[in-house]
Amino acid sequence: MPLSAQSNNDTAVVLELFTSQGCSSCPPADELLDEIREEYQDQNVFVLSYHVDYWNRLGWRDPFSTQEFSDYQRDYGSQFRSRSIYTPQLVVNGSEHFTGSNRYKASDALKKYTKAKTTNSINVNNLKQNGNSLSFDYQVNGPDFNTITLALVVSERTTNIARGENRNRKLKNTNIVATRTVKRDTNGMVAITIPNWVNKNDKLSIIGYTQDTSLRTTGATKVDI
């Protein structure tokens, strides 16, 4: 399967939005993330929507949510010494966080981190897809890093919400993380099982980003499938 041009540079901004379709405060943050993706699509800015599962008990089960993503958010909570986790939370380069709908703070963070240099670069190649199986090779260049996350993302999806706090609304989500693999090796092969909710017409990509022991971003890349 051919790859499009790989985005990889000496700067990178990774925005991770922890969100839920069951949260009435989340749609404005979802919309802002989509706007950022469009505005900064050529500037090595990478956005990801991590759908958490702790809202599912309140009337609407978010089809994109997993416990793994909630646990990942808790890792950030520990790193930021936060007493609790919340939605919508936007984490920028693993270095700071704020309410995901806060346009002023998002703009300020983008200005700051688009000037920050990365220390790692990532190559993704030999991508192969067979049905719901996806495999590829990766390599990390540069000094020590702690982990590399390789996330399969769905470009966008619109959902009619039938219950919960957002009932009777139509919500658009952007760069939804369908599944992710976390590695510590500088190179290797990744095999992914594509979740059943992903459709054959969905636009997919791999977003990879490296982090240090404090979860700070040290490099990122994106490959469209």
Q: What is the pLDDT of residue 43?
A: 87
pLDDT at 3 over 90: no
Report the candidate in 93, 92, 112 with the shortest Cα–Cα distance to residue 102. Answer: 92
Q: Which residues pair with 64 in a beta bridge?
A: none
Residue 127 within any structural domain of the chain? yes
**∠ CA 207-9-212, rounded to 5°:** 65
pLDDT at 6 over 60: no
42-68 confidence digits (pLDDT tens): 889 999 999 999 999 999 999 999 999
CATH number of the domain to which 189 belongs:
2.60.40.1930
96-140 confidence digits (pLDDT tens): 999 999 999 999 999 999 988 999 999 999 999 999 999 999 999
Q: How many CB atoms lie within 10 A of CB 67?
A: 11
Cα gap 217→95, rounded to integer Å: 8
Residue 106 parent element (H or E): helix 103-113
Residue 128 within any structural domain of the chain? yes
Q: Which two tokens stand for residue 6?
A: 């790989």
67-100 confidence digits (pLDDT tens): 999 999 999 999 999 988 999 999 999 999 999 9
- SS3 (DSSP) at 50: strand
Q: What is the pLDDT of residue 83?
A: 86
Q: What is the pLDDT of residue 1?
A: 40
- SS3 (DSSP) at 141: strand
Residue 27 within any structural domain of the chain? yes
171-209 confidence digits (pLDDT tens): 999 999 999 999 999 999 999 999 999 998 999 999 999
pLDDT at 33 over 50: yes
Q: Are strands 121-130 and 170-183 parallel, antiparallel or unpaired?
A: unpaired
Residue 2 within any structural domain of the chain? no
Residue 83 within any structural domain of the chain? yes
Distances (CA, A) of 4 to 124, 135, 156, 180: 11, 16, 18, 20
Q: Which two tokens stand for residue 130?
A: 């067979």
Residue 49 within any structural domain of the chain? yes
Of the pLDDT bands very low, low, confident and very high (cuts 50, 70, 90), residue 4 is: very low
Of the pLDDT bands very low, low, confident and very high (cuts 50, 70, 90), residue 8 is: low
Cα gap 127→207, rounded to integer Å: 13
R_g over Cα of the chain: 17
Residue 58 within any structural domain of the chain? yes
- Domain extent at residue 59: 7-224
154-179 confidence digits (pLDDT tens): 999 999 999 999 999 999 999 999 99
Total number of domains constituting the chain: 1
Residue 1 within any structural domain of the chain? no
pLDDT at 29 over 50: yes
Half-sphere exposure of 203 (CA within 13 A, CB side): 8
Q: Max CA-CA distance within the chain? A: 50
Residue 109 parent element (H or E): helix 103-113
Q: How many CB atoms lie within 10 A of CB 64?
A: 23
